[in-house]
């Protein structure tokens, strides 16, 4: 069953990649714009001199989560 899921996942990924390559949408521009927004948010957090290290890391993880990105397990206390 795991092999079937793996093969199906690969086929879906290849199909999506093909559609993206043959689309008029500029996905690279979309990603770069989002990345710059995220970096600006993180820069503002790092520029906050009043926050301690824990609060700074917590706020950065929240930015990741807000944008649907994985903040990593080392900060997952739940």
User: Which tokens hold the place of 23?
Assistant: 């689309």
- Residue 77's pLDDT is what? 57
The string of pLDDT tens digits covering residues 11-37 is 999 999 999 999 999 888 888 899 999
Give strand ranges (E) for 2-78. none
> What pLDDT score does 75 carry?
61
Is the pTM higher than 0.75? The answer reads no
Q: For the segment 42-65, what is each residue's pLDDT rounded down to a tens digit?
A: 999 999 999 999 999 999 999 999
Q: What is the pLDDT of residue 55?
A: 94
Distance from C-alpha of 8 to C-alpha of 2, rounded to nearest angstrom: 10
Residues in the chain: 78
What is the distance of C-alpha 70 from the center of its chain?
6
Domain map of the chain by residue range? Answer: 25-78
């Amino acid at each position: 069953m795991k092999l079937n899921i793996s093969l199906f996942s690969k086929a879906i990924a290849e199909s999506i990649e093909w559609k993206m390559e043959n689309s008029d949408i500029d996905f690279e521009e979309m990603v770069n714009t989002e990345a710059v927004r995220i970096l600006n948010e993180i820069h503002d957090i790092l520029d906050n001199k009043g926050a301690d290290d824990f609060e700074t890391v917590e706020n950065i993880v929240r930015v990741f989560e807000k944008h649907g990105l994985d903040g990593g397990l080392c900060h997952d206390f739940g």
